[in-house]
Amino acid sequence: MRKPDGKIVLLGDMNVGKTSLLQRYMERRFPDTVSTVGGAFYLKQWRSYNISIWDTAGREQFHGLGSMYCRGATAVILIYDVNHPQSLLELEDRFLGLTDTASTDCLFAIVGNKVDLVEEPAAEDQRKDGRGPGVAGRGGGAPKAPRQVQPEDAAALYRKILKYKMLDEKDVPAAEQMCFETSAKTGHNVDLLFETLFDLVVPVISRQRAQGPPQTVDITSYKTPGQTPSGCCA
Amino acid sequence: MMSTKAFTLVSAVERELLVGDKEQGHIECVECCGKNLYVGTSDCIVYHFLLEERAQPAGTATFSATKQLHRHLGFRKPVSELRAASALNRLLVLCDNSITLVNMMSLEPVPSGARIKGAVALALNENPVSGDPFCVEVCIISVKRRTIQVFLVYEDRVQIVREVSTPEQPLAVAVDGHFLCLALTTQYIILNYNTGVAQDLFPYCSDEKRPIVKRIGRQEFLLAGPGGLGMFATVAGISQRAPVHWSENVIGAAICFPYVIALDNEFITVHSMLDQQQKQTLPFKEGHILQDFEDRKRRSFCCLLRTGDGLLQEHLQTGAELKASEPERNLLCSSSFVDCLHRVSQVKRGQWVMGLATGQVNSRGCKEMIEVTPRPGRIRVGGRVIVATSKGVYILVPLPLEKQIQDLLASRRVEEALVLAKGARRNIPKEKFQVMYRRILQQAGFIQFAQLQFLEAKELFRSGQLDVRELISLYPFLLPTSSSFTRSHPPLHEYADLNQLTQGDQEKMAKCKRFLMSYLNEVRSTEVANGYKEDIDTALLKLYAEADHDSLLDLLVTENSCLLTDSAAWLEKHKKYFALGLLYHYNNQDAAAVQLWVNIVNGDIHDSTRSDLYEYVVDFLTYSLDQELVWKYADWVLQKSEEVGVQVFTRRPLDEQQNSFNPDSIITCLKKYPKALVKYLEHLVIDRRLQKEEYHTHLALLYLDEVLQQRPGANSKGAEATETQAKLRHLLQKSDLYRVHFLIDRVRGADLPMESAILHGKLEEHEEALRILVHELQDFSAAEDYCLWRSEGRDPPYRQRLFHTLLAMYLQPGPSVPELAVAATDLLNHHAAEFDAAHVLQLLPGTWSVQLLRPFLTGAVRDSVHARRTTQVALGLAKSENLIYKYDKMKLKGSSVRLSDKKLCQMCQNPFREPVFVRYPNGGLVHTHCAAGRHTNPSPPGPGART
Ligand SMILES: Nc1nc2c(ncn2[C@@H]2O[C@H](COP(=O)(O)OP(=O)(O)OP(=O)(O)O)[C@@H](O)[C@H]2O)c(=O)[nH]1
Ligand SMILES: [Mg+2]
pLDDT of residue B99: 95
Q: Where are the alpha helices (DSSP H) in B451-563?
A: 454-463, 468-472, 498-502, 506-523, 533-547, 551-557
Question: ipTM of this complex > 0.90?
Answer: no
- pLDDT over 80 (residue B382): no
Amino acid at the residue B199? Q
CB B613 within 8 A of CB B601: yes
pLDDT of residue B363: 40
- pLDDT over 60 (residue A216): no
A233 lies in some domain: no
Read off the pLDDT of residues B236-292 as tens digits, 9 standing for 90 and up: 999 999 999 999 889 999 988 788 999 999 999 999 888 888 999 999 999 999 998
- pLDDT over 70 (residue B336): no
Residue of A nearest to B187 (CA): A64
Read off the pLDDT of residues A54-86 as tens digits, 9 standing for 90 and up: 999 999 999 999 999 999 999 999 999 999 999
Percentage of chain A modeled with pLDDT above 90: 59
Amino acid at the residue A194? F
Q: In what order do the strands lie in the sheet with B385-388?
A: B7-13, B393-398, B385-388, B289-292
A102 lies in some domain: yes
β-strand pairing of A179-181 with A107-113: parallel
Give the Å distance between the CA of B277 and the centre of ligand 2: 16
A193 lies in some domain: yes
Higher pLDDT, B17 or B447: B447
> CA-CA-CA-CA torsion for B19, B25, B31, B37, nearest 10 degrees?
10
A234 lies in some domain: no
The CA distance from B471 to B603, in Å, is 39
- Closest CB from A38, A62, A68 relative to B237: A68
Higher pLDDT, B414 or B286: B286
Nearest protein CA to atom 6 of ligand 1, as residue: A17
The H or E element that residue B720 is part of is helix B718-734
Which string of DSSP letters, residue by residue, matches B103-120? ETTT-PBPTT--EEESEE
A58 Cβ closer than 6 Å to some ligand 1 atom: yes
CB B53 within 8 A of CB B63: yes
β-strand pairing of B119-124 with B136-142: antiparallel
CATH of the domain at A197: 3.40.50.300
Q: Is A104 on the interface with B (CB under 8 A)?
A: no
Q: Is A61 on the interface with B (CB under 8 A)?
A: yes
β-strand pairing of A6-12 with A75-81: parallel
The CA distance from B129 to B262, in Å, is 29
The segment with the largest mean pLDDT, out of B134-138, B241-245, B418-422, B942-946, is: B241-245
- Closest CB from A62, A64, A68 relative to B239: A68
Amino acid at the residue B16? E
CB B866 within 8 A of CB B840: no
- pLDDT over 80 (residue B424): no
pLDDT of residue B295: 41
Give the Å distance between the CA of A154 and the centre of ligand 1: 19
Of the candidates A103, A2, A104, A9, the residue with the CA atom closest to the CA atom of residue A50: A2
Give residue B795's pLDDT band: very low, low, confident or very high (50, 70, 90): confident
Higher pLDDT, A177 or A234: A177
A147 Cβ closer than 6 Å to some ligand 1 atom: no
Which string of DSSP letters, residue by residue, matches B260-284? EEEE-SSEEEEEETTT--EEEEEE-
Q: Is A69 on the interface with B (CB under 8 A)?
A: yes
Of the candidates B695, B697, B752, the residue with the CA atom closest to the CA atom of residue B722: B752
A89 lies in some domain: yes
Q: Which residues of B touch A (CB under 8 A)?
A: 187, 200-204, 225-227, 229, 231, 233, 236-243, 245, 276
Q: In what order do the strands lie in the sheet with B79-85?
A: B79-85, B90-95, B98-103, B115-117
Higher pLDDT, B355 or A202: A202
Amino acid at the residue B486? T
CB B156 within 8 A of CB B111: yes
Name A30's Cβ contacts closer than 8 Å, sequence gap at least 6.
A20, A23, A24, A138, A184, A185, A187
Which string of DSSP letters, residue by residue, matches B406-466? HHHHHTT-HHHHHHHHHHGGGGS-HHHHHHHHHHHHHHHHHHHHHTT-HHHHHHHHHHTT-
Read off the pLDDT of residues B654-703 as tens digits, 9 standing for 90 and up: 776 567 788 888 888 888 998 899 999 998 888 888 888 888 999 888 88
CB B905 within 8 A of CB B911: yes
Q: What is the mean pLDDT of residues A81-103?
A: 94
Whether residue A39 and residue B243 make contact (CB cut-off 8 A), yes or no, is: yes
For B64, half-sphere exposure in the C-beta direction (CA atoms, 13 angstrom radius) is 4
Give the Å distance between the CA of B227 and the centre of ligand 2: 15
Percentage of chain B modeled with pLDDT above 90: 36
8-state DSSP, B805: H
- Closest CB from A37, A64, A71 relative to B238: A71
The H or E element that residue A203 is part of is helix A190-211
Interface test with A, best of B209, B229, B245, B272 (most A CBs within 10 A): B229
A10-24, B350-364, B534-548: range with lowest mean pLDDT: B350-364
Write out the residue range of the structural domain in which residue A88 sits. Answer: 6-214
Higher pLDDT, B311 or B779: B779
Read off the pLDDT of residues B123-182 as tens digits, 9 standing for 90 and up: 999 888 876 767 889 999 999 999 999 999 988 899 999 999 999 999 999 999 999 999
Of the candidates B239, B203, B209, B205, the residue with the CA atom closest to the CA atom of residue B222: B239
Whether residue A38 and residue B242 make contact (CB cut-off 8 A), yes or no, is: yes
pLDDT of residue B376: 42
Provide the domain count of chain A: 1
Nearest protein CA to atom 29 of ligand 1, as residue: A139
A72 lies in some domain: yes
Helix (H, G, I), strand (E, B) or coil at A151: helix
> CA-CA-CA-CA torsion for B476, B480, B481, B483, nearest 10 degrees?
-110
Helix (H, G, I), strand (E, B) or coil at B871: helix
- pLDDT over 70 (residue B326): no
Name B711's Cβ contacts closer than 8 Å, sequence gap at least 6.
B721, B751
Whether residue B243 and residue A38 make contact (CB cut-off 8 A), yes or no, is: yes
Distance of CA B46 to the CA centre of its chain: 66
Q: Give me chain A's average pLDDT, please.
A: 82
pLDDT of residue B6: 85
A57 Cβ closer than 6 Å to some ligand 1 atom: yes
pLDDT of residue A143: 67
Q: Is A86 on the interface with B (CB under 8 A)?
A: no
B42-56, B831-845, B860-874: range with lowest mean pLDDT: B831-845
Give residue B369's pLDDT band: very low, low, confident or very high (50, 70, 90): low
The atom number, within ligand 1, closest to the CA of A184 reads 31
Higher pLDDT, A63 or A169: A63
- pLDDT over 60 (residue B313): no
Give residue B323's pLDDT band: very low, low, confident or very high (50, 70, 90): very low
pLDDT of residue A138: 40
pLDDT of residue B460: 93
Percentage of chain B modeled with pLDDT above 70: 85
A221 lies in some domain: no
The CA distance from B117 to B94, in Å, is 9
Helix (H, G, I), strand (E, B) or coil at B8: strand
Q: Give me chain B's average pLDDT, please.
A: 82
State the pTM of this model. Answer: 0.64
Phi, psi (degrees; rounded to nearest 5) at B15: -55, -35
pLDDT of residue B135: 82
B69 forms beta bridges with B48
Name A76's Cβ contacts closer than 8 Å, sequence gap at least 6.
A8, A9, A10, A11, A70, A99, A102, A106, A107, A108, A109
- pLDDT over 60 (residue B359): no
Whether residue B226 and residue A68 make contact (CB cut-off 8 A), yes or no, is: no
Read off the pLDDT of residues A140-168 as tens digits, 9 standing for 90 and up: 445 677 888 999 999 999 999 999 988 88
Read off the pLDDT of residues B603-659 as tens digits, 9 standing for 90 and up: 999 998 899 999 999 999 998 888 889 999 999 999 999 989 899 888 888 776 567
The H or E element that residue B378 is part of is strand B366-380
The CA distance from B12 to B582, in Å, is 73
